[in-house]
Structure 1
Amino acid sequence: MTTGADRTVSVTVLAADRSQRRVPVTAGVDAAGLVEVTPADGAVLNPGDKVVIGQ
């Protein structure tokens, strides 16, 4: 999860072809190193999407 200069929070999703796309999200509850995210502004996250972590 990253925050841009414009304060937009997003996650990076890895596609099957190894390309990456940013998805704007709203951060929710966090605990034990995990954060709940909800797609923002009409963005889409699907079950099984691979979110890039630790860049």
Structure 2
Amino acid sequence: MTDLIVKSAIKDQLADQNVSADFYDALDSEVADLLEKAARRANDNDRKTVQPRDL
């Protein structure tokens, strides 16, 4: 699986928090699911372009 997130960006965003090592894998999985659902919705609406409304 390709990493969809940038760990340093997550660390910057959550600067005041500690982040466990397995958080990144879980977040990456959530993002992959979100992208899959958005692509499916675009296809269901006869579009090849994924748009914000597909989220």
Name the TM tier (shorter chain): under 0.3
Larger proportion of helix: 2
- Give TM-score, length-normalised by structure 1: 0.26
Q: Which has the larger radius of gyration?
A: 2
